[in-house]
Amino acid sequence: MSIALKQVFNKDKTFRPKRKFEPGTQRFELHKRAQASLNSGVDLKAAVQLPSGEDQNDWVAVHVVDFFNRINLIYGTVCEFCTERTCPVMSGGPKYEYRWQDDMKYKKPTALSAPQYMNLLMDWIEVQINNEDIFPTSVGVPFPKNFLQICKKILCRLFRVFVHVYIHHFDRIILMGAEAHVNTCYKHFYYFVTELNLIDRKELEPLKEMTTRMCH
């Protein structure tokens, strides 16, 4: 990564503090393996496949946390241009509007501005991934039975960040020289969620044309 890109994607720009894996744990080893595959320039389609003999929940947990950190970083680079004035609706172009619901303050799908939606989304995901009952960090502690359902919801909502950034803020990404980095992150995400069937195909519709060009 160039020095300019390192400055763009520095830790100060991260929307939220990064969740890390404890050294010595199985998940830390999986995280290292996944990172090594990416850094070696390996085919992304191959890199997302579940390694032989590994637990699928562990593999998904590692990737969900990693994608949260990366997508946080991407949104952090454009968030100063994503304001109540520029983005009064959380959308992906004129055809797609995303409403927020969290079963706490927002019990019904509620129309919000993009920055409001993003803040609520990142807070909500952070709560999930830091909850030991959902993402256990201790060896031998099982994942909850609904773990994959929770991860599907997280990944579906993270995809909406890509939709909004690509459709409404990609000019900023290009100006910063970060296009290749964001595209690689998106391809990695897309291959992962489709390889393991973690996202409903209709959710992928807003970026379908771009994805066809980029990933097929």
Provide the annotated binding site for Zn(2+). Answer: 82, 87, 164, 169
Please name the residue that has the structure tokens 């959380």.
90
Residue 57 exposed, middle or buried by CB count within 10 Å (0-12, 13-18, 19+): middle
Annotated binding site: 82, 87, 164, 169
Question: How far apart are the C-alpha atoms of 121 and 115, rounded to whole Å?
Answer: 10
